[in-house]
Amino acid sequence: MARAVASGSPIMVLDEPATGLDLHNQGQLLVLIQSLAAEGMSVLLTTHHPDNALLVSDSVVLMRGRYDVRCGTAEELLTDEELSGLYGVHVRTVSYGDEPGDTRRALVTRYEAFAEQLSRVRAVDPSARPRH
């Protein structure tokens, strides 16, 4: 990122830039990305973290399959229904903010689709597990 900024490039392409970062450093990275965009740089990024896109994106591309690619605003495409269908888990967006009209949103993911599988895993006697 430093090299792209130092070179004066008008466009930055980032592939999963938040991968491996803890929540604090993800936030720092997203602030940097938003700052660069506010200064006029075009930023294209891929992410498996829709929360990141909700925070910094004006427009998004949602890729559900080879022939199912949608383009639009984050508001239009990063909805409960679209994200739940994309990831196969129940996703709910929640609004938050202290000011009236604040439109900030975050995601809550519920993994009840995996509850049965998790209960089977928990029911296995640890002493019966094979040792590697």
Rounded Cα gap, residues 59 and 93, in angstroms: 17
Helix (H, G, I), strand (E, B) or coil at 7: helix
Rounded Cα gap, residues 76 and 53, in angstroms: 12
- The answer to whether the CB of 103 falls within 8 A of the CB of 74 is no
Strand ranges for 32-123 from DSSP E: 42-46, 59-65, 68-73, 90-96, 104-110
The yes-or-no answer on residue 16 being catalytic is: yes
Residues 113, 55, 15, 68: what is their CA dihedral angle, to the nearest 10 degrees? 60
Q: Which of 16, 39, 76, 112 is catalytic?
A: 16
Burial (CB count within 10 angstroms: exposed 0-12, middle 13-18, buried 19+), residue 40: exposed
Query: What residues are labeled active site?
Result: 16
